[in-house]
Structure 1
């Protein structure tokens, strides 16, 4: 099976460039932008050799997993583009709903969104999302929305649980998942509407939020904040009620839940 866009995504002006193996789909996408690509281009592969996660961490994509990046070329504020990670998380969750519906054992699986950029299944990490940007001419910028999904395998040596489609008992392959993702992205991106629909995206995201109402710790640089995860605010910042009863809004940090919160973030 080969990669393809959903019919509605194709009619919506999205395009596709697929590779057997790639260094980094984000890097390819940003290179295309610098060469004049107008955007709405998906760059996909089942093997990525030099992928990156947040804060420069490596993100391995062994053969059979999914590495997908959407290139957008925009003119609105770069701050607005930062919320596209929430659009990506929702879109992948919707795609998972579609592909899991064909596997009875996964019909009740809990698909959760972990702030700011992970997708979990029954508490284990299935996917990570990374946004990268570069400035172009004429007040434009390129944004690469990178989505990596564990399809046939997942890393074992992590300080948190991880999983893959294969480990979950799903026979879905990368091509089938991408087909569903290209369709669900089109819907959520239209709802986001250059940031004007962020309030609707926020409410949908909160419906799937992992750890909401529970104990969390958040590492922000060299500081650790502990408390209860209350919500994400109108700018999609993480809101925690700390041990002193104060509300703290966090724009960037590493979140740990429940019993592992103290051990992992201490």
Structure 2
């Protein structure tokens, strides 16, 4: 893919090493004129969801998109679905196949049943939204928490050897396409496409929110991106949490 496909008006910063691309996005927020991707070839202190560390073996993808989207916090949160779709398309483009790819609510990408990518959204409080994205391109972390989906990497699962820079050149245009669709048509087409690619739609899953767990059939997403579970107590709306299969 040529750099001619890089989206207009979007910045691109590639760093040899940084503690966290999310932290770097905050540090640089006053100097970025528009949406900007920050890619680290090595990340030493990456962050995952709920305060966990995101372990980044060298050769994997660690980047943050810093942007200032219009709309409030609820609209900003929908960018996790845009990022998921962009990751799906970028991995498909990088590997030449979409078989085995699925999107796990709220913000993971699965490949052949294992987790190959994760997304973390953070707000800087001044209107900046930072979308942190990690992809296991050629390695997996050595340890994962109990009950988590086992990690996989793109190279072992598909045979595609992709560098972080090459992957960014696929991901950035894909994100910009979905962002433009979202800004023009709202969440409905994003939601529809996400559901077409969703893991375990129509199957029994468990959603954990804090200390509570609910098990039921994954029925759909509502218009805010919340998970709808059909349980023995009726339909439950899960606005935040984690899903276990």
Structures share a fold, TM > 0.5?
Answer: yes
1:131/1:5 CA distance change after superposition, 3 Å: farther
Task: Give yes or no for contact 1:111–1:122 (8 Å, CA) kept in 2.
Answer: yes
Aligned residues: 241
* Cα separation, 2, equivalents of 1:188 and 1:247: 30
* Cα separation, 2, equivalents of 1:188 and 1:5: 20
Matches within 5 A, 1:249-264: 249-257=237-245
SS in 2 for 1:224: strand
* Alpha-carbon shift at residue 5 of structure 1 (Å): 8.2
* Cα separation, 1, equivalents of 2:167 and 2:98: 18
1:171/1:37 CA distance change after superposition, 3 Å: closer
* Alpha-carbon shift at residue 8 of structure 1 (Å): 3.4
Q: Equivalent of 1:155, from 135, 141, 151? A: 141
1:88/1:167 CA distance change after superposition, 3 Å: same
* Alpha-carbon shift at residue 170 of structure 1 (Å): 1.9
Q: TM-score, normalising length from structure 2?
A: 0.93
* Alpha-carbon shift at residue 63 of structure 1 (Å): 1.1
* Residue 188 (structure 1) aligned with residue 178 (structure 2): yes
User: Paired residue for 2:169?
Assistant: 179
Gaps of 5+ in 2: none
1:5/1:66 CA distance change after superposition, 3 Å: farther
* Cα separation, 2, equivalents of 1:193 and 1:218: 30
* Alpha-carbon shift at residue 254 of structure 1 (Å): 1.0
Task: Give yes or no for contact 2:218–2:229 (8 Å, CA) kept in 1.
Answer: yes
Gaps of 5+ in 1: 102-106, 258-266
User: Paired residue for 2:124?
Assistant: 134
* Cα separation, 2, equivalents of 1:228 and 1:27: 38
* Cα separation, 2, equivalents of 1:5 and 1:233: 38
SS in 2 for 1:55: helix
Q: Equivalent of 2:102, from 103, 107, 112? A: 112
Residues 17-72 of structure 1 deviation map (CA, whole Å, 9 limit, x = unaligned): 11111111011112211x24233110001211111111111101121111111110
* Cα separation, 2, equivalents of 1:133 and 1:73: 10
SS in 2 for 1:193: helix
Q: TM-score, normalising length from structure 1?
A: 0.86
SS in 2 for 1:228: strand
Task: Give yes or no for contact 1:5–1:16 (8 Å, CA) kept in 2.
Answer: no
Task: Give yes or no for contact 1:38–1:73 (8 Å, CA) kept in 2.
Answer: no
User: Paired residue for 1:44?
Assistant: 39
User: Paired residue for 2:202?
Assistant: 213
* Cα separation, 2, equivalents of 1:167 and 1:156: 15
CA RMSD, 1 decimal: 1.7
* Cα separation, 2, equivalents of 1:198 and 1:254: 21
User: Paired residue for 1:23?
Assistant: 19
